[in-house]
Amino acid sequence: MITGVGLASPNGNNLAEYREALLNGRSGVTDIETRYMGKVHAGVCNFDDQKYQKKKEIRRGTRAGSIAIYSSHEAIADAGIDLDKVGRDRVGVYLGITEHGNVETENEIYKISQFGYDTKYWTHHHNPRTVANAPAGEVTLNLGITGPHLTLGAACAAGNIGLITGSQMLRLGDCDLALAGGVSESIHTFGIFASFKAQNALAHHDDPTKACRPFAKDRNGIVVAEGGCVYTLERLDDAKARGAKIYGEVVGYGQNSDATDFVLPHPARQAECIRLALKRAGMEPSEIDIVSTHGTGTHLGDEQECQAIREVFDGSGGTYINNTKSFIGHAMGAAGALELAGNLPSFQDGLIHPTINLNEIDPECRLNNLVIDKPLKKGEINSILNNSFGMLGINSVVIIKRFVS
């Protein structure tokens, strides 16, 4: 059961702010300056990083760690959980991330380049900042959590993978409360911008708020974003025992691999992943109310996902489709978790947030019931299917149902 949500996004620092922005068409994409490249479009978070950390702690840790700490505290507060009553040794932290350590390594190399590459100017904080278990480990340090923690490298499928892993660990009895989701600090490394530009996959537009255009005929690439979203997950009995509010129930998931290409997705494998999630949930495609798409704004990536969605859902007249990256850009390891969060309030308000920046759809991206420009009032919404795919052919799908006691 999802009983709490904490997030930092480019257009909101809690679920209410974020949802309001999505329903009112407010983008969080702006322009920033990045080393060696100058101005680039990016989704930038403006949360209060000193709300749960001291300045010294922020300097010692990582940006991804700060986002994770903020989001975890907010999720716990939103759930109304007292960690001491749960037992801090029974809390697990499972956070997905796309890549980690690039920001710190780039910064240190740049710094010593100003001193003739003299390594005495290299920080002694570098190793703990770049180990693979940060930022989940930073959350445990900040919150005094002594249960297990994992940072899950799963490319841009990582936000879903964090949620899936937290659910699995609860089922296994490895913990009694899971802090699960994904985080990203990607905008602070010039390398990710340079690499996407070298691939002709970095979005550009005169207006940064219109740069991210998934499924549009004139789309031209990805807008890189930072952000994070952490969920508190509990077993039903535990949630009911303390009278928790329940946002939704994790009822199914799928994970698989394309095994075909480093970057080009495989629509048949994506469709298989969707079907696997449906099978585990015991659901038919027609029982899904919202499909939250991965769509990044790349030409082939969007086409392949749309092909997979059509293969599974073309006969599902009551299934509606939207995209969240059009508002905030691609938050990499946080993308799946943030995109699910943007749709969760649909269970309460009956609205489906739109896809923006879609003036003319690419015929190769034809999707039935794609919600565009304005929210759609559907009425009762009972299920959300969340797609999240990544490089090296990693696919993940999560299905959440409205909980009815």
Structure tokens at 19: 């949802």
Token match 């559907």: residue?
A: 378
List the catalytic residue out of 149, 205, 330, 353.
330
Helix, strand, coil distribution of the chain in percent, nearest 5: 40, 25, 35
Instruction: Write the single-letter amino acid at 31.
Output: D
CB neighbourhood size of 323 (10 A): 32
* CB < 8 Å & 24+ apart, contacts of 266-271: 266/304, 266/393, 267/304, 267/305, 267/307, 267/308, 267/311, 268/308, 268/311, 269/393, 269/395, 270/304, 270/305, 270/308, 270/387, 270/389, 270/395, 271/307, 271/308, 271/311, 271/312
Q: Which residue has the tokens 């006691």?
A: 405
CA distance 2 to 81: 13
From 41, 73, 100, 156, active-site residue:
156
The CA distances from residue 87 to 5, 52, 371, in Å, are 20, 20, 43
Active site (annotated) includes residue 156: yes
Would you say 253 and 160 are in contact if contact means Cβ atoms under 8 Å apart? yes
The tokens describing 266, both together, are 């495989």
Name the residue with tokens 């703990």. 128
- Active-site residue 294, yes or no? yes
Residue 67, burial from CB neighbour count under 10 angstroms (0-12, 13-18, 19+): buried
User: Using CA atoms, how far apart are residues 189 and 333, in angstroms rounded to an integer?
Assistant: 14
* Contacts of residue 384, Cβ cutoff 8 Å, sequence gap at least 6: 248, 288, 289, 290, 292, 340, 343, 344, 346, 399, 400
Residue 274 is encoded by which pair of tokens? 């969707």
Supply φ then ψ for residue 322, to 5 degrees: -145, 175
Determine how many CB atoms are found less than 10 A away from the CB of residue 195: 12
330 belongs to the catalytic site: yes
Annotated active-site residue in 73, 188, 266, 294: 294
- Residues with catalytic annotation? 156, 294, 330
